[in-house]
Amino acid sequence: MQLPYLKDDPPIFAAVADPVRRSILLNLAENSPRTATQLTDEYPMTRQGLLKHITILKNAGLVSVHQEGRDKLFTLNPAPLKALSALEFLINQQWDKRLNRLKNLLEE
């Protein structure tokens, strides 16, 4: 099964590895869309620091940006997260098969 976003060591893994970025994703999941100013008010960092995290999330396809007047609004894009869930499901299936084989071997 070919999964989009999961080819050639995609940036999504680096993006979700950082706890601040995971927190931003959760924030956007609950409160999208948000401006950088709104997000900065909720994190103990500068606007520049927050925008670096947002850029990494955007490059991973997890955040989309659209302009509304003078403001840039950031919104969660959950599609890459669905691909990660699919990968987790496939890994769990493989482990279940292996554990069942081991169980059957031990019961013989």
Tens-place pLDDT, residues 39-58: 999 999 999 999 999 999 99
Determine the Cα–Cα distance for residues 76 and 74; give it in Å rounded to an integer: 7
Stated pTM of the model: 0.73
**In a domain? residue 3:** no
**In a domain? residue 93:** yes
Summary mean pLDDT of the chain: 87
Q: How confident is the model at residue 12 (pLDDT cuts 50, 70, 90)?
A: confident
- Which one, of 57, 71, 55, 51, lies nearest residue 21 by Cα? 57
Determine the Cα–Cα distance for residues 5 and 37; give it in Å rounded to an integer: 29
Determine the Cα–Cα distance for residues 81 and 66; give it in Å rounded to an integer: 20
Q: Is the pLDDT of residue 29 over 70?
A: yes
Strand-pairing partners, residue 74, are 34, 65
Count: domains in the chain: 1
Here the CATH number for the domain that contains residue 32 is 1.10.10.10
